[in-house]
Amino acid sequence: MPEVIFQYEAGGLIQVTANAGDILLDVARAANVPIDAPCSGNGACGKCRVRVLEGELDSLPSQHISDAELAEGWRLACGSRIAGDVTVLVPDIASAYQSRMKTADLSSGEEVEIFAKLMTDVKGAGVDFSNDFESVRLEMDVPTLDDTRPDNERLTDALCATLGVEQVEISFPCMCRLAQVLREDDFRVYVSGLRKGDSFIALDISALDEPMCTVAIDIGTTTVSAVLSDLKTGKLLAKASSGNGQIRYGADVINRIVEQTRPGGRERLQKAVIHETVNPVLSALCKSAGVEPRRILRLAVAGNTTMNHLFVGVSAESVRMEPYMPSFFHWDGLRAGDLGLTANSAARVVLAPNIGSYVGGDITAGTLAGLLWDRDEFTLFIDLGTNGELVFGNRDFMISCACSAGPAFEGGDISCGMRATDGAIEGVKLDTSSMEPDFSIIGEAGQKPVGLCGSGIIDLISELYRVGAISSKGHFAREGRRIAYDKHGSGRYILAFPEESETGREISLNEVDIDSFIRAKGAIFSAIDTMLKSLDMDVSMIDHVLVAGGIGSGIDMKNAINIGMFPDIELEKYAYIGNSSLAGAYAISLSEHAEEKTVTLAANMTYLELSTYPGYMDAFVAACFLPHTDISLFPHSVQEA
C-alpha cells in the first residue's frame, strides 16, 4: 500500500498508508490531519491546498491553482488521488486554528466583570440565581468490630442526620472514591451534591473543602468557547476556547450533516467535537483554575440545532429534509458520563432548547442574555456566525428565523477569506482618489496579512463601493494600481501583493467573492425585511439592534449599513453584545430558573421558515445589490465617485 506523509509547515509529520485511488482529503481526515476545507471537499472553495514535496498525486485541474503554483507542486487535496508514495506539505492555517487553545487571562478582572454584570442584569429581570447544590462537612464514627456498617450506609446515615433529609442517593463517581477518601482523614469528609426536597444526591466526596464548579459551553460551528464558574457564587474561574475539530468536514452545518450520513460519520463528528475539542477545553479550564474535573457538577451547552445533535451523537439528517424537523428541540436527562466528557460523570448536562431546524439553543441562550423578553421596546437580535439567525420582539412576543448566509461571514466561500485569527485583515480604509489601502491586522505588531476575515470583507466592499470602484452589482468600474482584470474582463482588488503577505501569495477580492458576499448580506437584510413584513411592520419601528457573534466584534456598523446588510436606522440604536450564546449558557449553568426560562422562551417563540414564506425569494433577489434595488431604503448609503 502507498505510504503518505503529511509534513506540517511548522514542523512535525504524520505517516499513514492508503489505497491507490484514495482521495487525499479523505486520507487526511482519517489520520486527523487538519486541512482547511470549508466546502467539505466539493472543489468549490480552493482552500484545501497542499504542496507535493516528494512523489506524485493524480490531480484534477483546478481554477484555484495557477500554472505557476502547479509547477511549484501545489494541489487541491479534494481533487487529488493517491498514485503512490507521496509526501505533502500541509499549510499552517487550518492546523493552527483547529489546535489553537486560548485560555483567557482573568487577572485584569475585565472578563470577570462582564459575567458579573450579566448575572446582575439577568437577576434584575427576575431570574433567581440560587440553586440546590450543597457542600457539607461530615464527621463519622470510625468502623469498629462493634460497628460494621458498610461505608455507603455510614455516609447515608450521616447525611440524613446532618441535612435532615429522608433519602440519599450516592452517585457512581462518588461511590468509587468513597472508601479511599473516608480513610484519608479518619472519616472526616466534605460531600457535594444536589438537594431536592427531602432527598440528597451525593455527587462527589473529598477530604478537602473544594469549590463546586459549573461549566458553560458555546458549541459554535467554527469555535468552541467555555467558562468555568463557582456554582454558589457565580464567580468566573477560567475561560478558554478552541477551534471546533469538526471544521475539517466543512464550514457549514449542511456539509456536516452530509458527512454524518456516511458510514461511521456520526461517530467521527461526535469524536471531533467532544474528544478533540470540548474535552481539551475542559481540561484547560480545570488546569487554569486549579480544580479537578470531578468538581464540575453541572454543564450547560448552547449550540445550533445541528451542533446539538452532533454533540450528543444523534442523527441530524432530518434537519435538512422537508418538513425540516429535528430529532429533538428539548432533551433532558443527559449526564457527562453518557458523552464521555471530562467532568464528574454524574454531572447533569443541560442543552439550551432549540427553536427550529435552523434556530437552535445558541439563539435561545442569546435571547436570554440579551433580555429581549424583558424589554418594552421592539428589539432586533442578530447573531452573525457561520449563518445568520434573527429574533425580533419584546416582552409581549418574539419571532425568529434563520437565513442561508453561508460561511462568507467567517471567510468561507471567499478566495482569500479566513477566520478572525492572527494574520486576518479585520478593518480596511481606502483613499478616495488613489484607492490605496490602510488596513488593520489581527495579531502582534509586525504581523503580515494572511487573508481577510468577515469584518474586513464588509469594510473592503463598502469602501470599494464608496470610492466608485465597483458598481451596485459588484462589478469593477475603475482602473488603478491595485485593480487587475483577467482575460475574461473579471476584476479584482489587490489588498496585498505577494511580497507584502505572510504566505507570499496575493491577497485580493475578486468579483466572484463580492458576488458571494452580496448574496450573504442580501440573505441577512431580506430575512429582516420579511420577518418585519410578516408582522405588518417595517425597519422604522425597530428601537434597538443587538449584534452578537464572533464577527460582530469587528463590524463597522456604518459600513454594514452602507452595503445594505443592516437596516439604515440611527447608529445609536446598534449595540454589540459579544458572545451572547456563551453568556446565556453561563446563566443556565448557574440557575435552574434560567434553565426553565429558556424552555419557556423557546416554546413561546414563533419560528418563521423563510424557505416556505411567500415573497421571501423576491425580497432576497432585491437585496442582492449594493445596497439594494430600492435605494430609498438606504438614504445614507454613500458612493462618492
Specify the pLDDT at position 99: 54
Average pLDDT estimate for 465-482: 95
Specify the pLDDT at position 96: 54
Task: Please say whether the beta carbons of 316 and 327 come within 8 A.
Answer: yes
Average pLDDT estimate for 586-596: 97
Most confident option among 62-71, 236-245, 293-302: 293-302
Nearest to 467 by CA among 493, 490, 449, 448: 493
Band of the pLDDT at 146, cuts 50, 70, 90? Answer: very high
Residues 257, 368 within the same domain: no
The answer to whether residue 640 sits within a structural domain is no
Residues 326, 412 within the same domain: no
The CATH number of whichever domain residue 268 belongs to comes to 3.30.420.480
The CATH number of whichever domain residue 54 belongs to comes to 3.10.20.30
Inform me whether the pLDDT recorded for 40 exceeds 90. Answer: no
Tens-place pLDDT, residues 415-424: 999 888 889 9
Task: Please say whether the beta carbons of 369 and 127 come within 8 A.
Answer: no
Strand partners, 403: 388
The answer to whether residue 416 sits within a structural domain is yes
Tens-place pLDDT, residues 212-235: 999 999 999 989 999 999 999 999
* Domain end marker among 493, 517, 541: 517
Residues 245, 310 within the same domain: yes
- Percent of the chain with pLDDT strictly greater than 90: 80
Specify the pLDDT at position 47: 86
Enter the DSSP assignment of 147: B
β-bridge pairing 296-303 and 213-219: parallel
Task: Please say whether the beta carbons of 248 and 99 come within 8 A.
Answer: no
The CATH number of whichever domain residue 149 belongs to comes to 3.10.20.880
Task: Please say whether the beta carbons of 453 and 554 come within 8 A.
Answer: yes
Residues 219, 233 within the same domain: yes
The answer to whether residue 301 sits within a structural domain is yes
Inform me whether the pLDDT recorded for 93 exceeds 70. Answer: no
Q: How far apart are CA 141 and CA 57, in angstroms?
A: 73
The answer to whether residue 104 sits within a structural domain is no
* Domain end marker among 286, 319, 351: 351
Average pLDDT estimate for 123-143: 96
Residues 513, 530 within the same domain: no
Grid cell digits, residue 61: 485541474
Grid cell digits, residue 179: 472508601
The answer to whether residue 105 sits within a structural domain is no
Specify the pLDDT at position 377: 97
- Of residues 569 and 486, more confidently modeled: 569
Query: What are the phi and psi torsion angles at 305 (to 5°)?
Result: -55, -45
Average pLDDT estimate for 295-319: 97
Residues 428, 283 within the same domain: no
Residues 330, 380 within the same domain: no
Specify the pLDDT at position 10: 76
Inform me whether the pLDDT recorded for 537 exceeds 80. Answer: yes
Range of the structural domain that residue 545 is part of: 361-406+519-633
Task: Please say whether the beta carbons of 425 and 451 come within 8 A.
Answer: yes
Inform me whether the pLDDT recorded for 637 exceeds 70. Answer: yes
Most confident option among 88-92, 98-102, 338-342, 447-451: 338-342
Query: How does DSSP assign 162-192, residue by residue?
Result: HH--SEEEE-HHHHHHHHHHHTTTTTEEEEE
Nearest to 342 by CA among 432, 279, 297: 279
Domain count across the chain = 5
Residues 95, 59 within the same domain: yes
Inform me whether the pLDDT recorded for 526 exceeds 90. Answer: yes
Residues 481, 438 within the same domain: yes
The CATH number of whichever domain residue 605 belongs to comes to 3.30.420
Minimum mean pLDDT range among 3-17, 156-170, 333-347 = 3-17
Average pLDDT estimate for 9-27: 91
* Domain end marker among 487, 517, 547: 517
Inform me whether the pLDDT recorded for 149 exceeds 80. Answer: yes
Peptide bond into 627 cis (omega under 30): yes
Q: How far apart are CA 195 and CA 165, in angstroms?
A: 9
Inform me whether the pLDDT recorded for 105 exceeds 90. Answer: no
Inform me whether the pLDDT recorded for 407 exceeds 80. Answer: no
Specify the pLDDT at position 404: 80
Grid cell digits, residue 579: 458572545
The answer to whether residue 106 sits within a structural domain is no
Minimum mean pLDDT range among 299-313, 374-388, 590-604 = 374-388
Average pLDDT estimate for 66-78: 91
- Percent of the chain with pLDDT strictly greater than 70: 98
Average pLDDT estimate for 178-201: 96
Specify the pLDDT at position 432: 94
β-bridge pairing 451-452 and 424-430: parallel
The answer to whether residue 639 sits within a structural domain is no
Q: How far apart are CA 249 and CA 538, in angstroms?
A: 39
Band of the pLDDT at 97, cuts 50, 70, 90? Answer: low
The answer to whether residue 356 sits within a structural domain is no
Residues 231, 265 within the same domain: yes
User: Could you identify the residue written with the cell 453561563?
Assistant: 586
pTM as predicted: 0.92
Residues 118, 138 within the same domain: no
Residues 540, 481 within the same domain: no
Average pLDDT estimate for 147-168: 97
Q: How far apart are CA 250 and CA 252, in angstroms?
A: 6
Band of the pLDDT at 44, cuts 50, 70, 90? Answer: confident
Q: How far apart are CA 256 and CA 29, in angstroms?
A: 13
Specify the pLDDT at position 92: 73
Average pLDDT, whole number, for the chain?
93
Minimum mean pLDDT range among 183-187, 209-213, 560-564, 634-638 = 634-638
Local structure of 475: helix, strand or coil:
coil
Minimum mean pLDDT range among 1-10, 144-153, 404-413, 566-575 = 404-413
